[in-house]
Structures are given as C-alpha cells and as structure tokens.
Amino acid sequence: MAFDLAVWLDERRQAGLYRQRKTVESPQGPEVVVDGKPFLAFCSNDYLGLANHPDIVASFRQATDDCGLGSGASHLVLGHSRAHHQLEEALAEFTGRDRALLFANGYMANLGVISALLGKQDAVFQDRLNHASLLDAGQLCGARSQRYQHNDVDNLRRRLDKSDGRRKMIVTDGVFSMDGDIAPVTALAELASQHQGWLMVDDAHGFGCLGNIGGGVAELYHLDQQQLPVLIGTLGKAFGTYGAFVAGSDALIETLIQFARTYIYTTALPPAVASATLTSLSLLRHEHWRRTHLQDLIHYFRTGCAQLGLPLLPSSTPIQPLLVGDASQTVSISQVLYDHGIMVTPIRPPTVPKGTARLRITFSAAHQRHHLDRLLDALSLPSVACWFRGDDNGVKL
Ligand SMILES: *Cc1c(COP(=O)(O)O)cnc(C)c1O
C-alpha cells in the first residue's frame, strides 16, 4: 500500500505519542472504576463535582419524562425547546450580557463564531497556547491568522500595529487548558479597543471556578459586554453536563443565528440536557463553598509539591500541571501512578509544545485532602521522584 497506516502508527508509538483510551465504568468522581479496577482520579474537568450531582440527574430524569430525549431537529427548524430558551436567558443574566446562544459543544461554538465573524480580509490574533478548537477555527475562517507569544501583550501590540486587516479579533483562552494560568484579559480588552478590534475569550475552564458567582474571568476582572464582546463558555466542564454557549450583544447573537454554520446545520442538544444545566447553573452560582474548597485543595497541593521540590507550573486554578519535558518520560510517570491506583493523564505534543510534556493534574470540589495526600505520597515514590530529581531535564520554565 502506498500509504501504510501501520508504519505511521508505529512511528507515533516510537515517539511516545501514541494515544489510547481507557474505559470508565462508574460515574465521574474522585474515585472511578476504569477497565474493571478502582482508581483515584485527577484528570477530569468536572471542577465543581457536579457531573454526578443528584439534583442535576433528577432534573434530567424529570425532563426526559416530560419531553422525551431527542430534540429531533436543529434550532432553526423545530429543535429549539422551551428548556433551551430558558437556559439561554439564565446564561445571559448570569454573564451580564444581552443574550446567550447554546451550541452543541465548545468545539463547534468556536468554529461557528470565528468563521461567522471573520473572513478573508480580516485578521485573527491568537495566543500560541490557545485550545485546538480556536486554532482550527482561525484556519477555517480564511482570515489571516497569527499566533502571538503566550500572554505577551507587547508581542500582540506589535502585531496589531502592523496589521491592515479589515476586522481584527483577539482570541484567547480565559484559563489556559493545559497550563492553568489566566490570560491578561484587562490588557487584552484595552488593546482590542485601541485597535477597533474585538476580544473573544473562551473561558471553558474559568466558568464555575473563578469569580464570586463562578462567572469566570469576565466576572473576576469586571469585563462588561463592551470590553469583552464575545464570551464563550462550555457546559461539559464545571457545569458537569454538556454543550456550550456564546454570550454577548443582541446583534452578536442574531448574527450567529444567521451565519454560524455549526449552529445552523446541526441538531439541537437534547432539551433535558438544557433542563439539567439550569439546575447545574443554580448550584454553580450559589454553592460558593465549592470554589472555596477548591482553593483550599490547590493551596494544600502546591505546598506539598514545594516541599517535595516538584516543578509545578505557576497556576491558581484547579489545573495544576507538573512539567516533565520528555513525552516518553511523562508516559512512564503516568504509568507508575496508574500502577499505584492513581489516574493522571500525560499531556504530550501536539496538544502542548514540543519538550513541554506534562502531567495535567486537575482537582474537583469533590476531592478531599486525604485524596491529595495519596497523590503526594505517590509523587514522592522513588520510582516517580527520580524523574524530577537533580539533573536538569532540559526544560526552561
Ligand atoms: C474543552 C474545551 C473546548 C471544547 O469544548 P467541548 O464542549 O468539550 O467541545 C473549547 N475550548 C477550550 C478552552 C476547552 O478547554
């Protein structure tokens, strides 16, 4: 065969980049059953511990009793239900925007929004560590796409100064998905306004975790609809359900309904997912203790890692990556932890830049300190600690 897939796959394996799935046989939570065995897990994005919350599950059940399961059609045909509409109104109020629009998921929201707003004569400026869905959207929309240095406002300013794009859009993760750090959104909003451009923030990992009511970076930095006109949230992470939304002005939402192809040409979410998410939104807003508890866990873990001399990346969010550098070594460490009943996913290129493979440790409000003690114990095992000790692993922080 001219194009041998087996050879290609083998190269992938040799490079330590081969990806494999594990089968989960329990609900999400700190303790999960995977391939028949119990594990302590530190790799979900269920930051508030809502993915298996009884009230949310009960809302879902009630809604399927009332409305059945499938939405049956796209939003513009016959799929836009009362539950979807109520959730959109609640999300608009929650984010302090005119309106919100539901999408099937975050990937599709990003593709749909960027390609609805930008075309060939335009310019899109992306942080180089943005999520894959944003980078893909930048390619798809046909605009001139640039990646600026991570969180580097000066680098971005120079690029904006040189650009002659018709429309200019700055696009960034709110909380970076593989690093856990936060974008300098206030400075980005100022730059956008100085250049008559738009700022778009994908806050998939900030919603629920940051702000007094879990409103993410927009709430934390008090950015209103003028300063931050395109705000994306996903529902599969801290909300514990599924789907995504865009929040912004009435004109933005109407534009997306007309032009966002990933909104128009796809089936609406099951309405019961929207009903369940309404309950989840209420818990996310009102149960502030979940955020306080998360902060306590983060502090506890960072203190423990500092005592062990482990190279944690600087992060104040539930994403606490331990930098390893080499992809194969990262897989080996993850395997040792796995053999000790602890699940932490190795994150390798191309998800992160070459030479910055890492263990992406994430916490949930459902974790307790004793869970973290087990993780810290495992990280101090000689067979794990040796990878981090002494000699420079070749990676600059
Ligand atoms: C997870 C994630 C997405 C994709 O959202 P899905 O709803 O899972 O498709 C988009 N952007 C960021 C920053 C993410 O972390």
pLDDT greater than 50 at residue 196: yes
Q: Hey, which residues are catalytic here?
A: 177, 205, 237
Residue nearest to ligand 1 atom 3, measured at CA: 106
Q: What is the DSSP string of 307-328?
A: HHT--B---SSSEEEEEEE-HH
Mutate to test the pocket of ligand 1, among 45, 102, 107 (most ligand atoms within 8 A of CB): 107
Q: Please identify, by atom number, the ligand 1 atom nearest to the C-alpha of residue 176.
A: 13
Q: Burial code of 263-299, b = ≥16 C-beta within 10 A, e = fewer? A: bbebebbbbbbbbbbbbbbebbbebeebbebbeebbe
What pLDDT band is residue 16 in, cutting at 50, 70 and 90?
Answer: confident
Does 146 have pLDDT greater than 80?
A: yes
Q: What is the pLDDT of residues 232-280, one digit of tens each?
A: 999 999 999 999 999 999 999 999 999 999 999 999 999 999 999 999 9
201-211 residues labelled b (16+ CB within 10 A) or e (exposed): bbbbbbbbbbb
> Which atom, in ligand 1's list, is nearest to the CA of 174?
13
Token duo for residue 303: 């203190």
Q: Is the pTM of this model over 0.85?
A: yes
Q: What is the pLDDT of residue 389?
A: 58
Q: Out of 43, 131, 136, 205, give the residue to mutate to test ligand 1, the one with the largest number of ligand atoms within 8 Å of its CB.
A: 131
Residue 226 buriedness (CB in 10 A; 0-12 / 13-18 / 19+): exposed
Strand partners, 202: 173, 232
Ligand 1 centre from 204 Cα, in Å? 6
Ligand 1 atom with minimal separation from the 177 CA: 15
pLDDT at 214 over 70: yes
**Average pLDDT of 21-41?**
96
Identity of the residue numbered 268: A
Within 6 A (CB) of ligand 1 lie 105-107, 110, 131, 133, 173, 177, 202, 204-205, 234, 236, 244
* Distance in angstroms (rounded) separating the CA atoms of residues 254 and 240: 27
Answer yes or no: is pLDDT of 392 > 70.
no
Q: Whose CA is nearest to atom 8 of ligand 1?
A: 106
Higher pLDDT, 44 or 389: 44
